Amino acid sequence: MVSLWVNRLFRSRGIEMANKKVWKGRFKKDSNEDMEQFSHSIDIDQRLWSDDLKVNLAWAEALREIRIITDQEFVEIRNGLERIRTEFEKGEFRFHPQDEDIHTATERRLTEITPAGAKIHTGRSRNDQVMTDLFLYLKREIDEISILIRDLMEVIVNRAEENIDLIMPGYTHLMPAQPILFAHYLLSLFWFLKRTIDRLGQAQERCNIMPLGSGAISGSGFPIDRKLLANRLCFKHLSQNSLDITSHRDIPIETGSILVMVMVVLSRYSSDLILFSNPNFGLFTIDEAFATGSSMMPQKRNPDSLELIRGQAATTIGRLAGLYTLCHGLPHGYNRDLQED
């Protein structure tokens, strides 16, 4: 009965759905233009396009299984999503001024390609959709960041082996304390990075919880097979509480905290190398490829690369603090403030 009712609804309204906001419903007045532009997040969340297309395809398959869409409509939707993917990959996708976010942009384009696209949002909310997109994105980014960290660990080990007998001063209170091996100094960063890999793996495991099917706060209302959805999207677990998974941002905050910790530690090593390369210390010389000169003082070899690491560490700390502040005091359930995450 549910599938029959939905199909009748879409047949009666047709493509008209694509030209309206997904939340338009009973609203009779158009949005204020300034308010509309102010509320858009497409410049930030467009990076989720690949994940959003994956979620749309999996959701279309789930809707086909409960006969909300026909086999032919599913084929049209699948082909439409592949076309959109190609447009993104080639840099040919064009955003519309009324696209609020990546979800409305892809749905709008899909419905331009096929009227069946107007059914794609049946039974779901952008609340569970965006969290599913975000978890897919975080899992992918954690993989890529972990590769970069492992590359850095390999470089550290190689440099330590190349300089296994090199002795340097060890400092406490920035005062010479005991002689140590330069390799010992380098490997102190290696072991921190090893713990970071472990932490990222734990955070990634928490991203393996699928929010899709949670709806806005209390489920879908349609008999969606969430286990099958999770398998298709490569999630290991299902969310157990829809209000929890759509309201909280603890998992992105946890991931951000780990990365901020990395930047803080890298900023400390950057400060070390800036000091050690200063002629007053005279322990190291920064390679010219990673230094800059002065337009007035030709003798200078400025450690800009290391100073920029310190500066970017400050920026990441500020962004994480902003995310904590964003979530502070919010009532439960989705609030538009969370768009800023």
Q: For residues 246 and 299, give the distance between their C-alpha atoms in angstroms, rounded to a whole number.
A: 57
Provide the strand spans (E) within the chain.
Answer: 167-172, 175-181, 209-210, 237-238
The answer to whether residue 188 is catalytic is no
The answer to whether residue 173 is catalytic is yes
Q: For residues 299 and 155, give the distance between their C-alpha atoms in angstroms, rounded to a whole number.
A: 30
Name the active-site residue from 39, 188, 218, 294. 294
List, in sequence order, the alpha helices (H) in 240-301.
242-247, 250-277
Q: What are phi and psi of 120, to 5 degrees?
A: -65, -25
Question: Which DSSP symbol is given to 18?
Answer: G
- As a whole number of Å, the end-to-end CA separation of the chain is 39
Which amino acid would we find at residue 298? Answer: P
Q: For residues 73 and 86, give the distance between their C-alpha atoms in angstroms, rounded to a whole number.
A: 20
Q: For residues 320 and 177, give the distance between their C-alpha atoms in angstroms, rounded to a whole number.
A: 35
C-alpha dihedral over 187, 192, 195, 197, to 10 degrees? Answer: -90
Q: For residues 43 and 46, give the distance between their C-alpha atoms in angstroms, rounded to a whole number.
A: 6
Name the active-site residue from 12, 173, 295, 328. 173
Element (H, E) at 35: helix 33-39
Mind telling me the catalytic residues?
173, 294
